[in-house]
Amino acid sequence: MKNKMIKEYTRIQNGLFAKVSLENNFKMEEILRIAGVDIAYWEEKGFHYGTCCIVVINFRTKIVIEQSTSNGEITVPYIPGFLAFRELPLVMEAVEKLTMDPDLYMFDGNGYLHYRHMGLATHASFYLNKPTIGVAKNYLKIENTPFVMPENETGAFTDIRIGQEIYGRVLRTAKDVKPIFVSSGNWIDLATSTEVVMACINENSRLPIPVRLADIETRLARRNLISK
DNA sequence: GCGACAG
DNA sequence: ATCTTGTCGC
């Protein structure tokens, strides 16, 4: 038996508590479709808008099999540590437009790597009821704990831990690129999260394919929504 | 007032 | 996140 991972009860919203699991509730062979989620923002006449794109790929072939978009006014401000409250409305709207049910979701943001263990990827999992992974491009410092830069080699990583608890991982997805910050969202462990992320890296980007494609689609969608 | 700050 | 040209480096 491997170490029993920590399970925590964390308050995610006024009186609402949720249990986060850092154990896989699936087998790797069952992961066939992976969704990448991202949002792009813009401002018009003092109003803030956003467009969310979800791109689903076949985990084996890495081919895009479906995508959906949602857009609308964004009324919740960005507050470090509360990103989910700002992004979830559009995310869920786009999720409902999908015809297929992805086996796993990857987010542009943190999961367990968060001072309440409740980053976007983790918070979203309770609405998706699917395993999620958090992939952030920058580090949101926790308890004044800096991260250790991993070696400059593909796959090199260092873990971000406080006390005996590992929050997330600084992962160098390729040589000579900025590392990314990977963490479990829910129902998946950090080792598996890392494995899935690395399996989604190609020579075109330091970000895993699903998130990278969602990022690209999101900008294209915005271009068409704004007459610029 | 100053610094921090996922997206 | 977004606003943006040139420019340093391979």
User: Is residue A28 in some structural domain?
Assistant: yes
A125 lies in a domain? yes
Q: Indicate the number of domains in chain A.
A: 1
pLDDT attached to residue A60: 98
Q: What is the pLDDT of residue A16?
A: 79
- CATH label of the domain that carries residue A214: 3.30.2170.10
- Tell me if A47 is assigned to some domain: yes
On the CB side of A219, how many CA atoms lie within 13 Å of its CA?
5
Query: Which of A's residues 163-222 have CB atoms within 7 A of nucleic strand C?
Result: 218-219, 222
Burial class (CB in 10 A: 0-12, 13-18, 19+), A189: middle
Residue segments in chain A with a per-residue pLDDT below the cut of 50: 1-4
Near-strand B residues (CB closer than 7 A): A 38-39, 41, 78, 80-84, 108-110, 114, 119-121, 134, 136-141
Determine phi and psi for A33, rounding to 5 degrees.
-120, 125
Residue A31 located in a structural domain? yes
State the Cα angle at A128 between A124 and A132, rounded to 5°: 60
Q: Which nucleotides of B are covered by protein (CB under 7 A)?
A: 4-7
The residue that minimises its CA distance to C1' of B5 is A80
Residue A3 lies in a domain: no
Domain that residue A218 falls in: 8-225
**For position A1, what pLDDT does the model report?**
37
Residue A182's identity, in one-letter code, is V
CA at A157, C1' at B2: how many angstroms apart? 34
Q: How does pLDDT run across A1-55, given as a tens digit for each residue?
A: 344 455 567 777 777 788 999 999 999 999 999 999 999 999 999 999 999 999 9
- Distance between CA A103 and CA A172 in Å, rounded? 25
Q: Establish if A2 belongs to a structural domain.
A: no
pLDDT of residue A165: 93
Report the binding-site residues of A for Mg(2+): 38, 108
**Among all strands, which nt has the closest C1' to A138 (CA)?**
B6
In a domain, A135, yes or no: yes
Q: Does residue A1 lie within any of the structural domains?
A: no
pLDDT at A11: 77
